[in-house]
Amino acid sequence: MDKFRWTIVGIAVIIVIAVVAALSLIIMPGAAPQANARMANSYSGMVPAGELLRVPVTGIYPGGSSAGLNPDMKNPLANDPDAVARGAKDFDAFNCSGCHMAHAGGGMGPALSDAAWIYRSSDANIYLDIAQGRAAGMPAFGAMLPDRTIWELVAYVRSISHKPPATFGATTSANPQSPDTEQVPAGKIDTTTPWKFMEPMPPRGEKSGGGPPNANPGN
C-alpha cells in the first residue's frame, strides 16, 4: 500500500510541475522566446559590434568633424599573409563573380577592382557592404557567411582595388561606369594580382593580330 501511495504522490508532483510551467507561459508569454531571440541576435565577430556601429557609410559630417566615428577601421586580418588568397577563393565559391565578374572586373554588379566607390572604401565599409547588403541588388550576406570569411573577402577586394594604369581595353561595369582600363581576363590567368598582368591597347583599338575593328578587306 505504501508503494502505491508513493506512486500517486509522484504522479501528483509531476502534474503540478506541468501545470505551473504551462501557467508561466500563459502569464508571461514573452519570457521563453526572449532568451532565444538573444541567442539568435548575438554577434561574436572579430570586431566588436559597437565599433562597427561607429563606421559611417557617408563622408559628410556635421561641422566637418568625424569625432566619435571610425571612418578608417582596418581589417583584423591585415597581418594574415594568406587572407587575400583565401578571399579570392571565397569570391568564386560564394558566386560574387556571378555579378561582379571574375577578378571583380565589373558586370551586372559594379567593378570592385578600380578606384571608384559608392559606399566608401575603408575595410570596414566593404565589410558592411557584404554583411548588410546595399540598394540596387547587393544581398546581405551577414546571415550566411562567417565573420572571418567576410573579412577574407575584404582583404581580397582591397588587394585589387586601386586606380589601374591607362592601358588595355575597357571594362563592362554598367553602373557606375568603369574607367577605360581593364585587368587581365580571368580566362588567361587566375591570379590575386590581375593588374600586374597588363597588355598595351593599340592606339586605334585594333584587335590582336590584325587591323582596326570592322576593317573591310576590300578597301
In a domain, 181, yes or no: yes
In a domain, 54, yes or no: no
In a domain, 182, yes or no: yes
Which residue has better confidence, 195 or 94?
A: 94
Domains held by the chain: number:
1
In a domain, 149, yes or no: yes
Please give the residue range of the domain that contains residue 164: 71-196
Flag whether pLDDT at 209 surpasses 50.
no
pLDDT of the residue at 147: 95
pLDDT of the residue at 173: 55
In a domain, 76, yes or no: yes
Calpha distance 27→110 (Å, rounded): 53
CATH number at residue 111: 1.10.760.10
Flag whether pLDDT at 54 surpasses 70.
yes
Flag whether pLDDT at 142 surpasses 50.
yes
181 burial (CB, 10 Å; 0-12 / 13-18 / 19+) is buried
pLDDT of the residue at 185: 62
DSSP 141: -
C-alpha cell at 189: 590567368
Flag whether pLDDT at 5 surpasses 80.
no
Quick check: helix, strand or coil at residue 110?
Answer: coil
In a domain, 50, yes or no: no
Please state the rounded mean pLDDT for residues 106-125. 88
Flag whether pLDDT at 136 surpasses 60.
yes
pTM of the model: 0.62
In a domain, 207, yes or no: no
In a domain, 2, yes or no: no
* Average pLDDT taken over every residue of the chain: 76
